[in-house]
Amino acid sequence: MLTYMVRRVLYMIPLLLIVSLIAFSLIKLMPGDYLTVARMNPMLTAESLQEQIERFGLDKPFLVQYWYWLKNVVRGDFGTSFGTRMPVFKTLFFGNRLTWTILIAATTLILTWFLAIPIGVYSATHQYKPSDHVVTFFGFLGLSIPNFFFALVILWMLVVIFRVGEYGLGVGGLLDSRFFDQPFSWAKFCNYMWHLWPIWVVIGTAGMASLIRLMRGNLLDTLSLPYVQTARSKGLRESVVIYKHAVRNAINPLVTVFGLQLPGLVGGSIVTAIVLNIPTVGRAYWSALQQQDEPVIMGGLLFFSLFLLIGNVIADFLLAWVDPRIRYD
Amino acid sequence: MRKTLILVGLLAACSLAALGQGYDTMPADAHVIPIGVEGTVYEDMELGVRGGTLHIPNIEDPKAWNNHTAKETSTTWFTYRMHRGLMNLDHISGAVVPDFAKSYEISEDGLVITFHLREGINWSDGTPITADDVLFTFNDVITNEDVDCNARPGMILPDGTFPICEKVDDYTVTFTLSTIYRPILNQMTFSLMPKHKLAQYVHKLNPDVPAGTFNETWTLDMDLSELVGNGPWIVTDYQVNVSVTMERNPYYYGYDPAGTQLPYYDKIVSHIVANQDVSMLKFRNGEVDVYAMRPEDIPILLPEGPSKGFQVMVTDLAQYGTTWICPNLDIGLADGTDEEKRELYRNVEFREAIAHLLDKDTMVQNVLNGLGTAQWTGVSVPSPFYAGRDEYGGPTTENDAVWFEYDPALAASKLDALGVVDQDGDGWRDLPSGAPLTIEINANDNTIRIAYCLIIQDDLRAVGLNANFQVVDFNTLVNRLLGATGDIIQLGLTGGDEPNSGKNVYTSCGNLHAYRYSACEDPDEVDLRIDELMDLGANTFDLDEAFDYYKEYQILLAHQLGYIYLCQPTFLYTYYDYVGNAFMASPTSTPGGNNGLLTELCFDKRL
C-alpha cells in the first residue's frame, strides 16, 4: 500500500508538468493578451505599448516564455501577477480568500453529506411511495436550477418579498457593513449566519441533489442482491440489513465522488461566489482569466490540478478503508 | 470585554496617528469650493453638515493602491480620491482649473508654466506638501523609465521631449516646454505622491533597491496606515471581495464657504458587488445609497422611488466615449486581395450610403430604452470642445452637426449610382464588376453591441446588401481592428473632455487610426488637414481659438466617415433623498467632469 501511494505521488510530478505545458499552450492560443484592453486606450502611444509588451515579456517566443516560467517554478517562484503586482499565490489567496473558500466549501460539504445520505437511503427504502416522489422531485429541481439563478431568486425574495432591509438586514456578502469594524460578538456571529445560509442552500442543494440520486440508485441496486435476501431470510432486523449490510456496500462509489469533490473546495462555485459576493479563490482566478493575467492563471491551474490529484489519492485511501476487499499492490 | 475595549482603543489611536489630527484653523490657502454661491456652477448645491457614512457599490476590487502604476478604473476609483494634482477637472463644467496649485501663469511665449502651490497644506499624515513632492512625482515617478507609469505618454510633447520641471522655491514650480502645447494643462492633473514615503522605493533615488521596485510598491498587501495622500479620502480598510473603507483626510485643503472642511461624510464604504443585479437589489434594500442604473432597471426603480424615498435621475446628456462601426478601408491591402471591395469602401459615397442606413432612433428606442442620444463626432458630447456647441463650453445647440439621416431610399440610390446593384438576380447587390459583395459585421459578446449590429444587419439587408453579423471574442475583435484584418467592426472608445486625447485615433499615423492605417504613408487632403488641425488646437492656450480648430476637425471627421458613429447612453443614476448634493452627480461619472460622484460635496441630510 505504501509503495503504491509513493508511486502515485511520484506520478504526480510528470503529470503536473504535462498539465502546465498544456495550460501554457492554451493560454497562448487564446486571442489577445493582458495588454489587449490597453491597446484600445486612445492615450497609449505605440512606443508606450511596446515598452509594456517588453516589460511583461510578451514579445518573447512561446517556448522561451514557458522555459523562463518553468525555471522559476522549480526555484519556487511562481511569478508576479500582472494586475496586482503581488506574487501569484498571494494574489489568489489574498485576504481570507483561502480560509473562506475552505470554510464555506467544507461546511457545505459536511451539511450536504449529512443530509443527502440519509435522504438517499430513505428514498431508496421507500421506493415509489409519495415521500420518495417528493424527495425525487426536489432532487431533480436542485439538479436543474442553475446555481447563479437560484442565488438571485433567493436574494430577490429576501429584498422584494420579505423586505429584510426594513429590519436592518443586508443580502449577499458575508456581513452587514455596520459590523465591518466591530469586534467579534454574538450579534456579529448571528449576522455571519444570516449571510451564510443562502450560500449553504444554493451550493448545498445542487450537490445534495446529485448525491441523493446516487445514494438512492446504489442502494436500490444493492438491496436487490442475493446477500441482502439472505440476511433478511436469516431474520435480521431490517435496520441492520440496510445500515450494516446494504448501505456499507452502496456507499463505495460515493467515496470516489467525495475525493473528486476536494478540488471543488478551492475552485468551485465561481459564479455563485460572484452572485452571492463571497470572497473565494475561484473569484480571484476568474478575475485573472478575464484579464489574461497569465502568471495567476498558470499558478491557479497548477494549484487546482494538484488538488485534483490529491483528491484522487485520498479517494483511493478512503475506498480501501471502507471496503476491506480492496488492496493496492 | 476589557481586553476588547483596550484593543478597540488602540486601533482607534493607531488610526488617528496614521491619519494625523487635522488643521487647528482653516489654512489661509484652503481651496474654498463655492457651494451654493450664486453665479457659479455650484449655485444649486447646499451647504452640508459633517458626519455619517456614504455607501457606494463598485463592481470590481482594486488591484493596488499605487495610482501611477494603476491600469484599471477599479483601482483609480480609489486612488483618485486619495490624491489630487496641481490642476483638476472642474466637477461640473469640465474645465481644467487649479486645484493643489492655487494659481498658475503662462509666460508670454507660452513655453513656461509657473504653478503657485497652496502653502501650509499637509499630507494626510501631517507632513507638509512642498514643491519637492511635485518634482519627485514628475521627475522621479512619471518621467522615470524605471516606473511603469500610465501618466507618462500624456506628458510627451509633440517633439518627443518631456517638459522640464524645476523648483523656484518651496511653493513654486515651473514647467518649461520645448513647444507650445495646451493639452499639457490637462496632464497637470497628475496625482501628487508623497516623496517622504515613496522616494525610498525609487531605484534612481535609492540604488539599494532593485530597478522596478516602485512598480511593486503600495500593493494590496501593504500596511494601510502607510498610505498617504492629499485628496479628500484615505483608504483605511480593505476586505477582499467585500468592501473598501475610506475615511476623511483630516488635512484635505477643500472647504465650503461657511468654513467647514470637506468632505462632509466621515467615511465612504465601497461595497464590492460583482453582479449588477445584486447591486440593484442592495440599493433597493437600502444597503447602498447610490446606484448607477442600467436602462433595463428603470421600469423597476421608477415606480418604487416615491415610496422608498429615492430619486431616479435620467439626464439627457450623453455619457463620455464613442460607439461606432469601423469599415476597414484597407481591407485586403496586406495580402493583395479584395481590391474592388477596398476601392468601394474607400469611396466616401459608399460610406455615406452605409451612414444613411443606420437607424439611430431605433437603436436608442429599442436598445437603450429611449435613454440615449445619437452621435456624430469623435469628441464626447459633455466636452466643452464638442462641435455641437457654438462656442467653447457653451450650451449644446447642434447647429453645425453633420447628420446622415436614416434614409434607406437615399442609401439605395447612392448604391445604384456606384454601380452596386444586383447583377445576377440572387437578390443581393454585387460589386460593379459583377462579383458578389458580402459584408461581415463583427462585435463582441455584449448585449447592447449585439443589438446594434442586428439592427444594422437588417437595414443593410433591406436594401440588398448581403450583410452578415457574427459575434467574436473581444480579443479577436481587437486583433482584427488593430491588425486591419476585419471588415466592418463595431466597438467603442473611451472619451474625455480634451480632444487631443483622440490624437492616436484620428491623426493619420495614430496607432488607433483603424479605419485606414495606410493613411500614414498615403494621406489624403482631409487626413492632412485633420493632422494640421489637431496640432493647431494643441498649440494655443486660447480656448476659443482651439475650439474653432477642433470644431473644423470634428466636422471634417464626420464627413470623412472613417469611424461611423452610433449612439451613446445618457447618464442614469439613482440616490436616496437623504444624500445631499447627489443630484449634481452620477456615481460612475459626473455629467460635467470625470471624477465620479462628488463624494466630498455630498452629505447626509438626516444628521
Between chains, do A274 and B493 touch, taking CB under 8 Å as contact? Answer: no
Task: Give the rounded distance of the alpha carbon of B338 from its chain centre.
Answer: 37
pLDDT for res B172: 98
Distance CA A174, CA B239 (A): 11
pLDDT for residue A247: 87
- Dihedral angle computed from the Cα positions of residues A16, A21, A24 and A29, in that order, rounded to the nearest 10 degrees: -140
Facing A45 at nearest CB: one of B245, B282, B511? B511
Residue B495 has pLDDT above 80, yes or no: yes
CB-CB neighbours of A326 under 10 Å: 11
Mean pLDDT across chain B: 90
Q: What is the largest CA-CA distance in chain B?
A: 92
Within 8 A by CB and 6+ apart from B303, the residues are: none
Between A48 and B453, the higher pLDDT residue: B453
Yes or no: say if B376 and B582 are a contact pair by the CB < 8 Å rule.
no
Which residues on chain A are in Cβ contact (under 8 Å) with B242?
173-175, 277, 279
Give the relative orientation of helices A294-322 and A281-291 as an angle to the nearest 10 degrees. Answer: 140
Question: Side chain identity at B392, as an amino acid letter?
Answer: Y
Q: Are A19 and A301 in contact (CB under 8 A)?
A: yes
Mean pLDDT computed over B329-346:
94
B591 and B564 belong to one structural domain: no
Beta-carbon separation of A44 and B153 below 8 A: yes
At A137, is the secondary structure helix, strand, or coil? helix
User: B589: which 3 cell numbers?
Assistant: 461619472
Say if residues B88 and B96 touch (Cβ distance below 8 Å). yes
Looking at the fold, whether B248 and B345 belong to one and the same domain comes out as: no
Tens digits of residue pLDDT in B118-145: 999 999 999 999 999 999 999 999 999 8
The mean pLDDT of B161-188, rounded to a whole number, is 95
Residue B512 lies in a domain: no
Residue B254 and residue B124 share a domain? yes
Lowest-confidence segment of A134-143, B155-164, B242-251, B485-494 by average pLDDT: A134-143
Minimal Cα–Cα distance from A279 to chain B, Å? 5
Query: pLDDT at residue B462 above 70?
Result: yes
Tens digits of per-residue pLDDT, B357-402? 999 999 999 998 888 999 999 998 888 899 999 999 888 899 999 9
Q: Is A295 on the interface with B (CB under 8 A)?
A: no
How many other β-carbons are positioned within 10 Å of the β-carbon of residue A190?
A: 10
Q: Which residues contact B191 (CB under 8 A, 6 or more apart)?
A: B67, B68, B79, B80, B82, B83, B84, B85, B137, B231
Number of structural domains (chain B) is 2
Restricting to A residues 55-84, those with a Cβ less than 8 Å away from any Cβ of B are: 55, 80, 83-84
The reply to whether B354 and B431 lie within a common domain is yes
How many other β-carbons are positioned within 10 Å of the β-carbon of residue A124? 24
In a domain, B68, yes or no: yes
CB B311 within 8 A of CB B574: yes
Q: Is residue B97 a part of any domain in this protein?
A: yes
Assigned domain for B47 exists: yes
B343 and B263 fall within a common domain = no
B462 lies in the same domain as B356: yes
Cα distance between residue B139 and residue B85, in whole Å: 15
User: Could you give the 3-state DSSP secondary structure of residue B243?
Assistant: strand
Query: What residues of B are in contact with residue A164 (Cβ under 8 Å)?
Result: 285
Q: Residue B19 has what pLDDT? A: 59
B chain contacts of residue A48, beta-carbon cutoff 8 Å: 152-153
CB contact under 8 A, B285 and A170: yes
B76 and B103 co-located in one domain: yes
Which of the four pLDDT bands, split at 50, 70 and 90, describes residue B337?
A: very high
> Above 60 in pLDDT, residue B13?
no
The pLDDT tens digits of the residues spanning B283-304 come to 999 999 988 888 788 889 999 9
- Dihedral-angle region of residue B484 (phi above 0 means left; psi in -120 to 50 means alpha; beta otherwise): left
Q: What is the pLDDT of residue B5?
A: 44
Would you state the cell numbers that stand for residue B289, as one nine-digit string?
Answer: 445609497
Distance of CA A92 to the CA centre of its chain: 15
ipTM confidence: 0.84
Per the CB < 8 A criterion, the answer to whether A23 and A17 are in contact is no
Neighboring chain B residues of A292 at a CB cutoff of 8 Å? 475
Task: Evaluate if residue B317 carries a pLDDT over 50.
Answer: yes
Position B398 scores a pLDDT of: 94
Query: Which CATH number fits the domain that encloses residue B127?
Result: 3.40.190.10
The length of chain B is 607
**Residue B3 counted as domain residue:** no
Q: Which domain holds residue B338?
A: 322-495+555-569
> What contacts B340, CB < 8 A, 6 or more positions away?
B431, B432, B433, B435
Q: Report whether B304 contacts B368 (CB < 8 A).
A: no
Set of cell numbers at residue A104: 464555506
Burial grade of A200 (CB within 10 A; 0-12, 13-18, 19 or more): middle
Are residues B348 and B254 part of one domain?
A: no
Residues 6+ apart with CB under 8 A from B475: A30, A31, A32, A33, A36, A292
Pairwise CA distance, residues B587 & B572, whole Å: 9
Instruction: Give the SS3 label for residue B168.
Output: strand
Q: Are residues B229 and B348 in the same domain?
A: no
Cα–Cα distance list, B520 to B311, B511, B514, B527 (Å): 50, 10, 11, 9
Give the global pTM: 0.84
First to last CA, chain A: 6
Cell representation of residue B177: 516646454
Whether residue A32 and residue B479 make contact (CB cut-off 8 A), yes or no, is yes
Tens digit of each residue's pLDDT (9 = 90 or more) over B525-551: 999 999 999 999 999 999 999 999 999
- Kindly report the backbone phi and psi dihedral angles of residue B164, in degrees, each rounded to the nearest multiple of 5, phi listed first: -100, 120
Spell out the SS3 assignment of B102-156: EEEEECCCCCEEEEEECCCCECCCCCECCHHHHHHHHHHHHCCCCCCCCCHHHHC
Rounded to 5 degrees, φ, ψ at A75 are -80, 0
Residue among B319, B499, B388, B394 at smallest CA distance from B93: B394
**H or E stretch covering A181:** none
CB-CB contact of B150 with B191 (8 Å): no
What is the band of B422 on the pLDDT scale with cuts at 50, 70, 90?
Answer: very high
User: How confident is the prediction along chain A (329 residues), in pLDDT tens digits per residue?
Assistant: 677 778 877 888 888 889 889 988 888 887 777 777 777 776 667 777 777 787 777 888 888 888 888 888 888 888 888 888 899 999 988 888 888 888 888 888 888 888 888 999 999 988 889 988 888 888 788 778 888 899 999 999 999 999 999 999 999 888 998 888 889 999 999 999 999 999 888 888 877 888 888 899 999 999 888 998 898 888 888 888 888 888 888 888 887 787 777 666 666 578 888 888 889 888 888 888 888 888 899 898 888 888 888 888 887 777 777 777 766 65
Best residue of A40, A278, A283, A285 to probe chain B, by most B CBs closer than 10 Å? A40
pLDDT of B430: 97
Q: Identify the CATH number of the domain in which residue B415 sits.
A: 3.10.105.10
B433 touches chain A (CB under 8 A): no
d(CA B519, CA B146): 34
User: A180–B239: do the CB atoms touch at under 8 Å?
Assistant: yes
Please check whether residue B505 lies inside any domain of the structure: no
- Distance (Å) of CA B416 to CA A156, A301, B432, B457: 55, 57, 10, 19
Residues B268 and B378 in one domain: no
Q: Are B104 and B98 in contact (CB under 8 A)?
A: yes
**Is B134 inside a domain boundary?**
yes
Whether residue B421 lies inside any domain: the answer is yes
B246 interfacial to chain A (CB closer than 8 Å)? no
C-alpha cell, B554: 470634428
Q: Rounded to whole angstroms, how far apart are CA atoms A128 and A136?
A: 10
What SS3 state is found at A99? helix
One domain, residues B251 and B390: no
For B27-68, write each residue's pLDDT tens digit.
999 999 999 999 887 888 899 999 999 999 988 899 999 999
Please say if the pLDDT value at position B108 is more than 90.
yes
DSSP-H helix ranges across B418-562: 447-462, 474-482, 503-506, 525-538, 543-560
User: Are A283 and B156 within 8 A, CB to CB?
Assistant: no
How many Cα neighbours within 13 Å face the side chain of A239?
A: 1
- Write out chain B residues lying below 8 Å of A33, CB-based: 475
Query: What does the alpha-carbon distance between residue A219 and residue A236 come to, in Å, rounded to a whole number?
Result: 18
> Quick one: pLDDT at residue B1?
43
Candidates B532, B494, B487, B538; CA nearest to B512 is B494
CA separation for the pair B523, B507 (Å, rounded): 10
Give residue-wise pLDDT tens across range B571-606. 778 899 999 988 765 444 443 333 455 788 899 999
Strand partners, B101: B117
Closest CA–CA distance from residue B217 to any residue of chain A (Å): 8
Q: Which among B159, B161, B240, B383 is the top mutation candidate for probing chain A, defined by the most A β-carbons within 10 Å of its own β-carbon?
A: B240
Size of interface A-B (CB pairs under 8 A): 159
Whether residues B326 and B274 share a domain: the answer is no
User: In Å, how far are A46, B556, B571 from B114, measured between CA atoms?
Assistant: 31, 36, 36
d(CA B556, CA B463): 27
Structure confidence by residue, pLDDT tens digits, B268-286: 999 999 888 999 999 999 9
